[in-house]
Amino acid sequence: MKIKTRSRLIVFLLSALVWFALTSMKNWQEVFVGLLLSLLVSLIAGQFLITTEKTKHLFLRSLAFAKYLFRFIWEMIKANFHVAYIVLHPNLPIKPGIVKVKTKLTKDSARTVLCNSITLTPGTMTVDINPDKNEIYIHWIDIVTKDYHNIDENTATISAKFEKLLKEVFE
């Protein structure tokens, strides 16, 4: 099966699932319209979801994704208490700046998930990505590293914990 056909099939199944979750599915007309609309959506915009060949078994990848999800939720709870501490403190203890980290991930989807998880974890937010040099610019609200021009130290502090997990999921 070609990649485009598989991507369209997955988009069709997902959009049909969302339609059946949102409607009550009482009579056959709703089912018919739902199938028709998902067919239309998958024909128009279906080929953009998956662009590369699959590398590993689906079960292993979902297991790694569950591991990543638990880590992400824990980091996110920590991030929220960190922001609450900064906001409620009378003196606003911040030391902001924009630093640079390196990434080893190559796929677009993996990079998107990495940037989203960097944005939602303690004190960091993605500003821009340089796809040629594999560098991500990150706004950091409270810089803790001594030498902030040192890319390796920043990478080890900010993004290494997610990159290891995401490498198992996507590559």
Residues that bind another protein (CB under 8 A): 18, 21-22, 24, 76-77, 79-80, 83-84, 86-88, 90-92, 94-100, 115-116, 119-120, 123-128, 137, 139, 141, 143, 148-149
Q: Which is nearer to another protein, 1 or 21 (CB)?
A: 21
- Say what angle helices 58-88 and 160-170 make with each other, to 10 degrees: 160
Q: How far is the CB of 149 from another protein (least distance, A)?
A: 7
Least distance (Å) between residue 65 CB and another protein? 14
Considering just the CA atoms, what is the radius of gyration of the chain in Å?
21
CB of 112 to another protein, least distance (A): 8
101-131 as b/e: b if 16+ CB within 10 A: bebebeeeebbebbbebbeebbbbebeebee
